[in-house]
Amino acid sequence: MPRYFTQDHEWIDVDGSDATVGITDYAQSQLGDITFVELPAAGSAVAKGDSASVVDSVKAASDVYAPVSGTVSEANAALEDEPELVNTAAESDGWLWRMTLSDAAELEGLMDEAAYKTYVEGL
């Protein structure tokens, strides 16, 4: 299952037309202690580049952008009680939402893991 990354520090796992989205470990480390995650509702349509979620840390509220367009199928309910999962497991249990892609071609502009690693090292 390929994983892609955005320049805004989201990751997206793609399995056919289904995908899971979260923020990267680098992103959570920059945000610090996360206290609340505002998640998109199941069934809502998101467009690539739109703010789909907000991650609230002690110091700031940060938008999370949809890496690709599609329809949200599920939000991570575990984050309601445990928003700190985004700190402790950003790239696994701390996922934000699942979605159905509307245009798989949009994945083409995203980075793979190696490219993202290089990108972060350059920041």
Partner 1 sequence: MSDTYKISPDEIGEPDAGPLTLPLDGWHRARGGRMVAFAGYWMPVQYEGIIAEHLWTRAHAGFFDVSHMGQLYIAGEGAEAAIEAVLPIDLSTLPLGGVRYSLLLDANGGILDDLMVTRWGTGFYLVVNGATKHDDIAHLRANLPEAVSLTHLADSALFALQGPEAFAALAPLVGGEHALSALSFMRGASFTLGGVDAWISRSGYTGEDGFEIAVPAESAAAIADLICAQPQVKPIGLGARDSLRLEAGLPLYGHDMTPDVDPVSADLLFGINKRRRGDGGFPGADRILPLIDTGSVTRRVGLVLEGRMAAREGAKVLWGEAEVGSVTSGGFSPSLEKPIAMATVAAELARPGTQLIIDVRGRKIAATVTPMPFVPHRYHRKGAA
The residues of the shown chain that bind partner 1, judged by CB under 8 A, are 8-10, 23, 27, 31-33, 35-36, 38, 54-65, 83
State which residue, 30 or 69, has the beta carbon closest to partner 1.
Answer: 30
Amino acid making up residue 40? P
Q: Least distance to partner 1 from the beta carbon of 16, Å? A: 26
Q: How far is the CB of 64 from partner 1 (least distance, A)?
A: 6
Give the integer Cα–Cα distance in Å for 9 and 36: 18
CB of 79 to partner 1, least distance (A): 10
- The residue among 15 and 59 lying less far from partner 1, judged by its C-beta, is 59
83 vs 94 by CB, closer to partner 1: 83
- Judged by beta carbon, residue 42 or residue 60, the one nearer partner 1 is 60
To partner 1, the closest distance from the beta carbon of 37 in angstroms equals: 9
Q: Which of helix, strand or coil describes residue 39?
A: coil
Buried b (16+ CB within 10 A) or exposed e, 1-26: eebbbbeebbbbbbeeeebbbbbbbb
Structure tokens at 24: 């990267």
Distance of alpha carbon 65 from alpha carbon 25, whole angstroms: 16
